[in-house]
């Protein structure tokens, strides 16, 4: 299955500094590209645990006894590892991008192409879909979602229009939402619609809270000298990763005590500035243009 071109593949795996007999976690298995390169660098005693909440990713399983692939949201990965007796790991990788397969698969509902079901659940066992958000959230909640997750300039007007339209018809397909967007859009339809669909996807899948929990829990189980390698694709998740890697928290400014001192943070940045795709990668995979790689290493 043509699933996804792995972004910043070599850079992200190099950042992990693979130990041949180490234990590693791929939090976002997807098409298996990053996992395959990790396995290539592991010896016979090495182990890789990979997670993905999208059931379709399980079809891409690599036939390798050193790999365990688990259908689970990465925010619960450490709970799962602890349950099977894995206390410490040597490194964690996460590629936070939505896969090409998901974007192109109409059943996912991530696209603003016509006649697509407004679903957007990465894990189909989740109860809330995008149509549920549009049909049941209050005007204030909708405005907050579009402002926070999409940075939409006319979020209030958009929320009002959605609430107004759903009085006479329910949102079911992308056409229903697109009708509203076209009536109030700025610039091109594509540039206006993209962040709105992104905002809905983030809300449906609770992506930012899940990311924060994954970062907090996994960092506690990485050995001294181990690393965390994270690829982000939009400013909201990149800000969370950047702040966490710098301070161990998600605020733009770190917390200090009454003496103005910050809590001890036992990690250091491997790369002070994020690593982006090369010109060669951009030619091969234009979707990589917004990718940023950040790596940190545990020092104490």
Q: Top-level CATH class of 9-101+207-298? A: alpha beta
Comparing CA positions, the residue from 106, 120, 109 lying closest to residue 53 is 120
Q: What pLDDT does residue 108 have? A: 58
Q: What pLDDT digit, counting tens, does each position of 186-224 carry?
A: 999 999 999 999 999 999 999 999 999 999 999 999 999
Assigned token pair, 278: 């090369």
Assigned token pair, 170: 């329910």
CB contact at 8 A, 296 and 92 = no
Superfamily of chain region 111-205: Putative methyltransferase TM0872, insert domain (1.10.150.170)
CB contact at 8 A, 291 and 276 = yes
Give the number of residues written for the chain: 300
Domain boundaries, the chain: 9-101+207-298, 111-205
Q: What pLDDT does residue 9 have? A: 96
The conformation of residue 261, written as its DSSP 8-state character, comes to P
Report the alpha-carbon distance of residue 300 to residue 296 in Å, rounded: 12
Comparing CA positions, the residue from 208, 211, 233 lying closest to residue 292 is 233
Report the alpha-carbon distance of residue 33 to residue 22 in Å, rounded: 19
Q: What pLDDT does residue 83 have? A: 97
Q: What pLDDT digit, counting tens, does each position of 236-276 carry?
A: 999 999 999 999 999 888 888 888 788 889 999 999 899 99
Name every residue whose Cβ is closer than 8 Å to that of residue 13 and which is 6 or more positions away in sequence: 34, 37, 38, 41, 93, 229
Plot region of 68 (φ>0 → left; ψ -120 to 50 → alpha; else → beta): beta
- Rounded (5°) CA angle 151-161-210: 40
Handedness of CA 183, 187, 190, 196 (dihedral sign): negative
Q: What pLDDT does residue 232 have? A: 97
A 10 A CB-CB count for 154 gives: 16
Q: What pLDDT does residue 111 have? A: 83
Report the alpha-carbon distance of residue 77 to residue 221 in Å, rounded: 11
Q: What pLDDT does residue 258 have? A: 83
> Which of the residues in the chain have pLDDT under 70?
1-4, 99-109
Assigned token pair, 112: 């603003």
Strand, helix or coil for residue 32? coil
**pTM confidence score:** 0.92
């Amino acid at each position: 299955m043509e699933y996804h071109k792995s972004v910043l593949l070599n850079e992200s795996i190099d950042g992990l500094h693979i130990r041949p007999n180490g234990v590693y976690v791929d939090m976002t298995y997807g098409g298996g590209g990053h996992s395959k390169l990790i396995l290539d660098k592991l010896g016979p005693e090495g182990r890789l645990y990979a997670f993905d909440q999208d059931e379709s990713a399980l079809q891409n399983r690599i036939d390798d006894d050193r790999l365990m692939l688990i259908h689970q949201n990465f925010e619960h990965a450490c709970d799962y590892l602890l349950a099977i007796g894995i206390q410490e790991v040597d490194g964690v990788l996460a590629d936070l991008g939505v896969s090409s397969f998901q974007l192109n698969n109409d059943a996912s509902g991530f696209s603003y192409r016509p006649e697509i079901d407004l679903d957007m659940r990465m894990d189909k066992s989740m109860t809330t879909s995008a149509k549920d958000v549009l049909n049941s959230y209050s005007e204030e909640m909708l405005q907050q979602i579009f402002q926070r997750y999409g940075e939409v300039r006319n979020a209030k007007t958009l929320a009002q229009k959605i609430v107004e339209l759903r009085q006479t018809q329910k949102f079911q397909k992308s056409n229903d939402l697109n009708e509203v967007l076209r009536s109030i859009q700025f610039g091109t339809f594509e540039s206006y619609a993209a962040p709105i669909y992104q905002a809905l996807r983030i809300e449906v899948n609770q992506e930012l809270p899940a990311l924060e929990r994954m970062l907090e829990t996994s960092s506690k189980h990485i050995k001294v000298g181990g690393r965390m390698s994270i690829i982000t694709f939009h400013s909201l998740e990149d800000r969370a990763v950047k702040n966490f890697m710098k301070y161990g928290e998600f605020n733009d400014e770190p917390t200090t005590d009454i003496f103005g001192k910050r809590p001890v943070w036992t990690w250091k940045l491997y790369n002070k500035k994020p690593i982006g795709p090369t010109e060669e990668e951009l030619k091969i995979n234009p979707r990589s243009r917004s990718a940023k790689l950040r790596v940190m290493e545990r020092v104490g």
